[in-house]
């Protein structure tokens, strides 16, 4: 039996709908990518790979291998040993192969000779929006990682 709410009590405020991936754009950013697809890749990454990709995006889409390696070796809350950075970066490519259509271009481009990692300029704003959604909805992410 449900108790009746007293007549003098105010009505509870309506719940705001939670944002979700469906709120992100499906419009193309270039090379077959959209905000929704970028979020799907971000959500499927393990926490370490997600943090590394976010770091490169936060740096404007380009970083040297040594910069990434050093940043995470000394990270206070989420250190990644220098011996594991290469595998972490490789896992980004593996998730892209599993999630994204074959027609998409590479999310993270690697120049092994120069030891540089780059994200296409057109994708950086989309990744920023995908990471904002990830911050708003950590329940949709694989595993969990602390905020950067």
Q: pLDDT tens, 41-66?
A: 999 999 889 999 999 999 999 999 88
- Look at residue 143 and tell me if it is in a domain: no
Assign 3-class secondary structure to 36-90. Answer: HHHHHHHHHCCHHHHHHHHHHHHCCCEEEHHHHHHHHHCCCCCCCCHHHHHHHHH
Q: Is residue 40 part of a domain?
A: yes
Cα(40)–Cα(5) distance, rounded to whole angstroms?
43
Q: Report the CATH number that the domain containing residue 85 is assigned in CATH.
A: 1.10.10.10
Residue 93 domain flag = yes
Does residue 54 lie within any of the structural domains? yes
Is residue 113 in a domain?
A: yes
Residue 133's pLDDT band (boundaries 50, 70, 90)?
very high
Quote the number of domains for the chain: 1
Residue 132 lies in a domain: yes
Residue positions counted in the chain: 148
User: Over the stretch 85-108, which tens digit does the pLDDT of each residue have?
Assistant: 888 888 889 999 999 998 898 999
> Which range marks the domain in which residue 51 is found?
33-137
């Amino acid at each position: 039996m449900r108790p009746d709410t007293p007549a003098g009590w105010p009505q509870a405020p309506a719940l705001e709908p939670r944002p979700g991936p469906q709120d992100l754009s499906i419009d193309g950013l270039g090379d077959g990518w959209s905000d929704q697809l970028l979020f799907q890749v971000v959500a499927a990454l393990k926490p370490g790979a997600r943090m590394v990709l976010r770091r490169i995006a936060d740096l404007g889409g380009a970083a040297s291998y040594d910069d990434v390696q050093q940043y995470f070796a000394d990270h206070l809350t989420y250190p990644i040993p220098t011996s594991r950075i290469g595998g972490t970066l490789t896992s980004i490519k593996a998730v892209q192969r599993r999630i994204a259509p074959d027609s998409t271009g590479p999310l993270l481009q690697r120049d092994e000779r120069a030891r540089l990692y780059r994200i296409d300029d057109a994708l950086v704003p989309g990744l920023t929006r995908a990471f904002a959604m990830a911050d708003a909805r950590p329940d949709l992410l694989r595993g969990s990682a602390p905020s950067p």
